[in-house]
Amino acid sequence: MASFSSYIFLIILFIISVGASEIKSIYLPGTYQSSLLVKKHDEKTKIPFKTHYFPQILDHFTFLPRSSKVFYQKYLINDQYWHKEGGGPIFVYTGNEGNIDWFAVNTGFMIDIAPKFNALLVFIEHRFYGDSMPFGNNSYKSAKTLGYLNSQQALADYAVLIRSLKQNLSSDSSPVVVFGGSYGGMLAAWFRLKYPHIAIGAVASSAPILQFDKITPWSSFYDAVSQDFKDASLNCYKVIKGSWAELDALSTHDDGLIEVSKLFRTCKALHSVYSARDWLWEAFVYTAMVNYPTEANFMMPLPAFPVEEMCKIIDGLPKGASKLSKAFAAASLYYNYTQTEKCFNLEGGTDSHGLHGWDWQACTEMVMPMTCSNESMFPPSSFSYKEFSQDCKKQYGVKPRPHWITTEFGGYRIEQVLKRFGSNMIFSNGMQDPWSRGGVLKNISSSIVALVTQKGAHHVDFRSETKNDPDWLIMQRKQEVAIIEKWLEEYYKDLKQN
Amino acid sequence: MASFSSYIFLIILFIISVGASEIKSIYLPGTYQSSLLVKKHDEKTKIPFKTHYFPQILDHFTFLPRSSKVFYQKYLINDQYWHKEGGGPIFVYTGNEGNIDWFAVNTGFMIDIAPKFNALLVFIEHRFYGDSMPFGNNSYKSAKTLGYLNSQQALADYAVLIRSLKQNLSSDSSPVVVFGGSYGGMLAAWFRLKYPHIAIGAVASSAPILQFDKITPWSSFYDAVSQDFKDASLNCYKVIKGSWAELDALSTHDDGLIEVSKLFRTCKALHSVYSARDWLWEAFVYTAMVNYPTEANFMMPLPAFPVEEMCKIIDGLPKGASKLSKAFAAASLYYNYTQTEKCFNLEGGTDSHGLHGWDWQACTEMVMPMTCSNESMFPPSSFSYKEFSQDCKKQYGVKPRPHWITTEFGGYRIEQVLKRFGSNMIFSNGMQDPWSRGGVLKNISSSIVALVTQKGAHHVDFRSETKNDPDWLIMQRKQEVAIIEKWLEEYYKDLKQN
């Protein structure tokens, strides 16, 4: 069996509640990629949204006979707070890689602030996700259909839809502000840059727009995960760092699979030790991402500051216990905080929601190279464009265009470029979130600002406010509201003058 | 025979020297469209350019199996003035609808200023024009090939090529400034807006980026042509305005075609009276566009202020002469200033340079509705999206997307949008040029400026300087140079700080 240590990287963007049995991952040889987006069934929409479908054009950027084919793009509307007559603003969530209902429910911030702004809320689903399938059940069939799935087409969808919507609502003068988290935040930021005539501002939360090419060090993501654990407890970090070798060693045993299955309390005997590795890996990465300051139920039900809780588990176990068993115990917090699971399904996750579009995106334009440095708590690994390209070719029949995103959207010397160009953007990040390393962490100009919190995690600012929110989070949201207010004031003032 | 007065409009963007026998036009029922771009054979490149071919990707915005097909895009380079080591700038001409050699020769301004700036000169050919044919001789075959011809793909071509070129030249820190005239000016302006990370500024000469949708009144173009003639002589304007009815009347005669052929001194008997109308029409429109203050040989050899010269011809003819014969005499100045033509070929122009791509672009995204008002000197005409769409469907099998350009690039309320977004753009226009009416004619911000001259014509500022240039033209070019200098200073200063 191969060592764990070669070419391992995770691409996990927007991570949500997954039942242990629902984990989906595609293992490309030498490359582990995963986008875990599963609609949480037990979470109900808290405010009413009306569902609509917009006849969207398949290909905005060619005029081939097939380009004008229409598909139905889902979007949600809430107009209960909107003061349309007064030109109240339109807050648009630029949907990312999943069912839009889920984003609507989990972006409580927009709902919380809508009354204050008298805003219309619109959540637009990203093409090839949720119900917005250009070719119905055949949408994911091959490169001939998936070829239309990419960020530029998605941005153009949003532009066309918003323009049409404003026309239909006779609300031409209502300013649009776009919001997005994670990949949706990248889309919101890029939308403001590419369509400033449609959106007057963008709030991009945890948007790693600099995670491409060589802008951000490739090891930064896993170094950041490791840092979270190290900050919680040096011992904890060391235990996890040492656990992989133990798993590796087990994999060479004749009875290794049986032993690992037993140790990991799997419901069924494992087919591959890799599954155990991935299971641990995901738990640590996702827990770092959602290392929220309050109890939350975003990915999984978890206590406040779950990284610290994991480390408490590890540090509390007897010295004699194996590192692997400690790592398992810590990971169990992630998968079983509610203590309802009797056993774990580490394999055979189904993609019941048809959400594996991210894997395609990662194999075409969303190429974010990641490595594990010797200092990280993960097994060291490198990244090769060549091997990655070969894997994608094998998997999808396409070759990635790894430098396309930075050609199309920029990223290098972003301070210098946007200092002299653009305005009205908020990049919010929490340093607990490993994706923050690929985000914009410094103010660029007076109106392109970075709101960074040391204790924040993956777009925590976009979550509904709770009674237990710490001051820094309350403050961050207040700053966002104040900045949006300024954009709107300026807009209405300009409107009056013209 | 149908009246001339229904749905007549011209789409003529970048107009160049055409021999009388080389005129090419496509007559769509109810719609007259023409882009006359013919390489002038007797004009030689004045400075050496090296010709290169770049392996360009067919479709930047999808990942279909066919998208990654490579074609060879032509570009020209002159490095004789470039101070590469000092990070000298790169001046890129964003090619428009024609052979790039022709633009290189006819954009003397860039060559004139290159030594002062120690600049590298690059002229990139637009896909589907000149030698840059993605499917060789089959490129214009049908919508299946032409479908890849549009402005967004062209802009992405420029982005990819420039990035690659800078990498190959190891000149990462050299700032890029884009230049373009007419449609090329639209591309330069849009390039700065969409790719600010690649170009630090744009000089857009005579770029009618507001000639779309309902931003600019549809009758403005022909009203402006008419104004040029009215300003030269009210009688001249009245004669031309009255000539169409005389031609119309002749068309109902049994011997009308013979009479018109005789009057217009055609080399061969005409097949349609429409040809005479188009011939006159083109002469008046193009002469208005190139109503330059000096003798020039841009479209055709013409004297300084050729509109005035035309009107002198009309005003100098005996009162008893027919309006049509006067109009013919005036138009002859355009086609035969050198007095070398014994007869005129009004029909059967060949498209020897394969340049009719503009007709396709006009039928897809470049929809610029135009009408002739009752006040214009042309027969009144209206415009119908429905009929236009039907005509395009018949001609190419595609339906136009008439609102796409303003969705993708904006245009409505441009002052309000760009006042708060963007920087480093020059929009230069001369009010003699009818395209100026669709241009940006007012300063938008301190760094998005309009340089407007009352006596200037179609991108006259981009022509080589001559001894006879009037002060206002010398001043306009000086302003452009000073502004570009400021952009570069700022860029180098920022670069040092980072």
Residues of A in contact with B403 (CB under 8 A): 163
Q: Is the pLDDT of residue A428 over 90?
A: yes
Q: What is the pLDDT, as a whole number, of residue B48?
A: 81
Looking from the CA of B224 toward its CB, the CA atoms found within 13 Å total 28
Average pLDDT over residues A11-39: 30
Q: How far apart (Å, rounded) are the C-alpha atoms in residues A55 and A72?
A: 5
- What are A465's two structure tokens? 């406010």
Q: Chain B residue with minimal CA distance to A497?
A: B416
Looking from the CA of B374 toward its CB, the CA atoms found within 13 Å total 0
Q: Chain A closest CA to B143's CA: distance in Å? A: 5
Q: Chain B closest CA to A64's CA: distance in Å? A: 4
Burial class of residue B85 (count of CB atoms within 10 Å of its CB; 0-12, 13-18, 19+): exposed
Query: Cβ distance B401 to B412 under 8 Å?
Result: no
Task: Select which of B139, B171, B182, B436 is catalytic.
Answer: B182
Q: What is the pLDDT, as a whole number, of residue A105?
A: 86
Q: Beta partners for A32?
A: A27
Q: Chain A residue with minimal CA distance to B397?
A: A65
Q: Chain B residue with minimal CA distance to A425?
A: B421
**pTM greater than 0.80:** yes
- For residue A383, the Cα-to-chain-centroid distance in whole angstroms is 21
Q: Chain A closest CA to B421's CA: distance in Å? A: 5
User: Of A12-16, A217-221, B286-290, which gets the smallest average pLDDT?
Assistant: A12-16
Q: Is the pLDDT of residue A280 over 50?
A: yes
Q: Beta partners for B452?
A: B429
Q: What is the pLDDT, as a whole number, of residue A24?
A: 27
Query: What Cα–Cα distance (Å) separates residue B60 from each residue in A75, B67, B189?
Result: 27, 7, 20
- For residue B203, the Cα-to-chain-centroid distance in whole angstroms is 15
- The amino acid at residue B210 is L
Query: What Cα–Cα distance (Å) separates residue A334 from each residue in A289, B334, B439?
Result: 12, 81, 59
Please give chain B's pLDDT, 498 residues, in tens.
333 222 333 333 433 323 222 222 222 222 233 333 333 434 444 558 999 999 999 999 999 999 999 999 999 999 999 999 989 999 999 999 999 998 898 899 999 999 999 999 999 999 999 999 999 999 999 999 999 999 999 999 999 999 999 999 999 999 999 999 999 999 999 999 999 999 999 999 999 999 999 999 999 999 999 999 999 999 999 999 999 999 999 988 889 999 999 999 999 999 999 899 999 999 999 999 999 999 988 778 899 999 999 999 999 999 999 999 999 999 999 999 999 989 999 987 655 444 578 999 999 999 999 999 999 999 999 999 999 999 999 999 999 999 999 999 999 999 999 999 999 999 999 999 999 999 999 999 999 999 999 999 999 999 999 999 999 999 999 999 999 999 999 999 999 987
Residues of B in contact with A488 (CB under 8 A): none
Residues of B in contact with A442 (CB under 8 A): none
Q: Tell me if A196 and B422 make a contact (CB, 8 A cut-off).
A: yes
Q: Is the pLDDT of residue A51 over 70?
A: yes
Q: What is the pLDDT, as a whole number, of residue B6?
A: 28
- What are B460's two structure tokens? 């006259």
Q: In B80-233, which ranges are continuous DSSP H helix?
A: 100-105, 108-117, 143-146, 151-168, 183-194, 220-232
Q: What is the pLDDT, as a whole number, of residue A442?
A: 98
The yes-or-no answer on residue B433 being catalytic is yes
Q: What is the pLDDT, as a whole number, of residue A470?
A: 97
Given pLDDT bands bounded at 50, 70 and 90, which one contains residue A15?
Answer: very low
| Closest in B147, B412, B498 to A63, CB measured | B147
Burial class of residue B426 (count of CB atoms within 10 Å of its CB; 0-12, 13-18, 19+): buried
Its ipTM equals: 0.91
Taking the Cβ of residue B280 and every Cβ of chain A, the question of whether any pair is shorter than 8 Å is answered with: no
The yes-or-no answer on residue B151 being catalytic is no
Q: Chain A residue with minimal CA distance to B161?
A: A407
Q: Chain A residue with minimal CA distance to B173?
A: A413
Residues of A in contact with B147 (CB under 8 A): 62-65, 67
Residues of B in contact with A59 (CB under 8 A): 61-62
- What are B97's two structure tokens? 């609808």
- Work out how many CB contacts closer than 8 A connect A with B: 153
The yes-or-no answer on residue B182 being catalytic is yes
Q: Angle at Cα B185 formed by Cα B184 and Cα B188, nearest 5°?
A: 90
Taking the Cβ of residue A493 and every Cβ of chain B, the question of whether any pair is shorter than 8 Å is answered with: no
Q: Tell me if B498 and A415 make a contact (CB, 8 A cut-off).
A: yes
Task: Select which of B376, B458, B459, B469 is catalytic.
Answer: B458
Going by their DSSP bridges, the two strands B448-453 and B425-430 should be labelled as parallel
Taking the Cβ of residue A121 and every Cβ of chain B, the question of whether any pair is shorter than 8 Å is answered with: no
pLDDT tens figures, A130-179 = 999 999 999 999 999 999 999 999 999 999 999 999 999 999 999 999 99
Q: Is the pLDDT of residue A314 over 90?
A: yes
Q: Tell me if B416 and A494 make a contact (CB, 8 A cut-off).
A: yes
State the Rg of chain B over Cα: 22
Q: How far apart (Å, rounded) are the C-alpha atoms in residues B462 and B445?
A: 23
- Contacting A residues, span 325-354, partner chain B, CB-CB under 8 Å: none
User: Of A111-115, A293-297, B289-293, which gets the smallest average pLDDT?
Assistant: A293-297
Q: What is the pLDDT, as a whole number, of residue B45?
A: 46
Residues of A in contact with B196 (CB under 8 A): 193, 410, 417-418, 420-422
Q: What is the pLDDT, as a whole number, of residue B315?
A: 98
Q: What is the pLDDT, as a whole number, of residue A38?
A: 35
Report the run of H or E that residue B314 belongs to, with start and end: helix B306-316
Closest CA to B146 of A149, A58, A67, A70: A67
Of residues A347 and A38, which shows the higher confidence score?
Answer: A347
